[in-house]
Amino acid sequence: MSSEPLSLSFNPAGIELDRRQGLSRQLYQALRVRVLDGRLASGTRLPASRDLAAALAISRNSVVRAYDQLYAEGFIEGRVGDGTYVAQLPQASLPVKKIAKRVATASSTPGAELPVVLSSTVVYSGALERVEKNHLATPPSGPPRAFRVGVPAFDLFPFEVWAKLNAAFWRKPDLQQLCYGPPEGDARLRAMIAAYLRSSRGMQCTAEQIVITSGAQQGISLCAQLLVEPGDVVGIENPGYRAAGHAFAVAGARLQGVAVDSEGIDCAELTALGDCRLAYVTPSHQYPTGVVMSLARRLELLAWAERAQGWIVEDDYDGEYRYSGAPLAPLAALDRQGRVLYVGTFGKVAFPALRLGYLVLPPALVAAFSQRRAVDVRHSEVSTQAVMAEFMAAGHFQRHIRRMRRAALSRRNTLLAGWPQNIPGIGSLPSVAAGLHLTVAVESQARERELVEKAASVDVEINALSTYWLADSQTPVDQRAGLVLGFAAVPEAAISAALGRLEKIWRA
């Protein structure tokens, strides 16, 4: 209950809302921009939701939803009995302001003033020696089973809808579409993806910034090919997604593992690398530890990229899966300087074999990336792109995401509820707020091996956390041990059955 006057330091007069669009999202974005560019300084008191609703002539619910999201992302904080304040955030906003001015005077396109240093060499002969061969294995194939990592609940994919849309495309194909197409991808699909990212991820991107790829992996690989010169240092999360490391190593990068703590990649360690100009990160849900990068760390990382005149490759492979609140704003949504290359995939919402993904690029990079794609593969196969565009336009995609999120949540709950308790050497289960997998610590690498082997003997697939580390890691081997379990790949009954088998074999 509050009828206090609006805080002197916050004037909502500049906020303009379009009543035909979602009001809470617009308000959230308007406030977020003001925090990021410093117009709303740390410690500024925000009006009570009722007062702001009255001042903007919108419902209180819209304000509460916008505040909830800002809370969830760490932009604002509540003080008990004393209202809502802008959180204490690192000074990324100052440079952002400076850069914003520079960009505004140089060009209206973020990133257009940056020197685009693209690698001249795309093949590096020593590359394979630089990647440990035992980690080059392709992801497991065959029917999904508990607890395969990296696989969504694709048994729930609406194959009939897809088949109908596919049949409609081929029944009367537009002959123009069957010739060579644009290397950056189907124009309608690019527009649909941009609209989806604007509404669901808070990104201010346009269709022109999207380049369609064959899954996230090709997106990462293109970043490596175009941004890395042989010998360049690339900072990657350690432990991390090894296939990303491979893509950079094959382009000639010197990989440097950077530690991940409870807030995400350690920016001090990244900064200490000195000559590193490219960092690969998974902020929505760190792979494989599951850490969600805090807002403070996101801003610190963006500030690093500016200082280093570097690039951030943001792999948002499973950002759709968040089980409380809306997904956190990606780095690309906070980036004001065109330094973030955002990698997305349909593999975790539809199914991996679709091989459909996308990059959202700073505008200055789009031409180089699409030219490179033209050289590699010309463009992606046309019908998959056209059918996905129609799938999105007709609303099936959004419905399917909701279905997949519910399914993943239920499967997660089944795993958490039935997990064998008090097995020697296994740490406690984490709380799982996002993603499709969880990681649990194990006391030693020997015990990790034993647990994984016993699980395999009863047809249960568990990944050893130690395999996600770079070989030259400083962290003692036993501290690298753990179990990585994907919980979405199979239905609840199969999860329960697998847990029963695990319980038996691990206690034997």
Residue numbers of the site for ligand PLP (CB under 6 A)?
A: 150, 215-217, 241, 282, 287, 315, 317, 345, 347, 352, 357
Q: Distance (Å, rounded) from C-alpha 481 to C-alpha 450?
A: 11
Shortest distance, position 25 Cβ to ligand PLP, whole Å: 27
Shortest distance, position 399 Cβ to ligand PLP, whole Å: 21
Q: Which residue(s) pair with 45 in the sheet?
A: 85
**Placement of tokens 């050497």 in the chain:** 425
| Residue number with CB closer to ligand PLP (63 or 331) | 331
CA 78 to chain centre: 27
| Residue number with CB closer to ligand PLP (14 or 142) | 142
Shortest distance, position 435 Cβ to ligand PLP, whole Å: 9
| Residue number with CB closer to ligand PLP (74 or 435) | 435
| Residue number with CB closer to ligand PLP (300 or 315) | 315
Shortest distance, position 198 Cβ to ligand PLP, whole Å: 21
Q: Distance (Å, rounded) from C-alpha 406 to C-alpha 486?
A: 15
Peptide bond before residue 182 is cis, with ω within 30 degrees of 0: no
Shortest distance, position 291 Cβ to ligand PLP, whole Å: 13
| Residue number with CB closer to ligand PLP (23 or 216) | 216
Q: Distance (Å, rounded) from C-alpha 451 to C-alpha 439?
A: 14
Shortest distance, position 298 Cβ to ligand PLP, whole Å: 17
Shortest distance, position 397 Cβ to ligand PLP, whole Å: 16
Shortest distance, position 265 Cβ to ligand PLP, whole Å: 13
Q: Distance (Å, rounded) from C-alpha 52 to C-alpha 2?
A: 11
| Residue number with CB closer to ligand PLP (144 or 352) | 352
| Residue number with CB closer to ligand PLP (111 or 357) | 357
How distant, in Å, are the alpha carbons of 33, 155, 179 from that of 149? Answer: 36, 15, 38
Nearest CA among 217, 218, 259 for reference residue 236:
259
Q: Distance (Å, rounded) from C-alpha 156 to C-alpha 411?
A: 13
Nearest CA among 354, 293, 294, 282 for reference residue 318:
282
Q: Distance (Å, rounded) from C-alpha 372 to C-alpha 331?
A: 25
151: left (phi over 0), alpha (psi -120 to 50) or beta: beta
Residue type (1 letter), 322: R
| Residue number with CB closer to ligand PLP (141 or 176) | 141
Shortest distance, position 216 Cβ to ligand PLP, whole Å: 3
Nearest CA among 268, 270, 273 for reference residue 281:
270
Phi (first) and psi of residue 91, to 5 degrees:
-80, 50
| Residue number with CB closer to ligand PLP (45 or 373) | 373
Sign of the Cα pseudo-torsion (311, 316, 322, 328, in order):
positive
Shortest distance, position 179 Cβ to ligand PLP, whole Å: 27
Q: Distance (Å, rounded) from C-alpha 33 to C-alpha 53?
A: 19
Shortest distance, position 122 Cβ to ligand PLP, whole Å: 19
| Residue number with CB closer to ligand PLP (109 or 200) | 200
| Residue number with CB closer to ligand PLP (32 or 242) | 242
* DSSP string covering 138-194: PPP-SS--TB-TT---GGGS-HHHHHHHHHHHHHS--GGGGS---TT--HHHHHHHH
Shortest distance, position 343 Cβ to ligand PLP, whole Å: 7
Going across the sheet that includes 276-281, the strands are 210-213, 357-360, 340-345, 311-315, 276-281, 233-238, 254-261, 264-265
Q: Which residue(s) pair with 463 in the sheet?
A: 484
| Residue number with CB closer to ligand PLP (289 or 345) | 345
Number of other CB atoms surrounding residue 268 within 10 Å: 10
Going across the sheet that includes 437-441, the strands are 437-441, 482-486, 463-464
| Residue number with CB closer to ligand PLP (241 or 304) | 241
- SS3 sequence, 81-121? CCEEEECCCCCCHHHHHHHHHHHHHHCCCCCCCCCCCCCCC
Give the chain's count of helices (H) and strands (E): 17, 14
Shortest distance, position 391 Cβ to ligand PLP, whole Å: 17
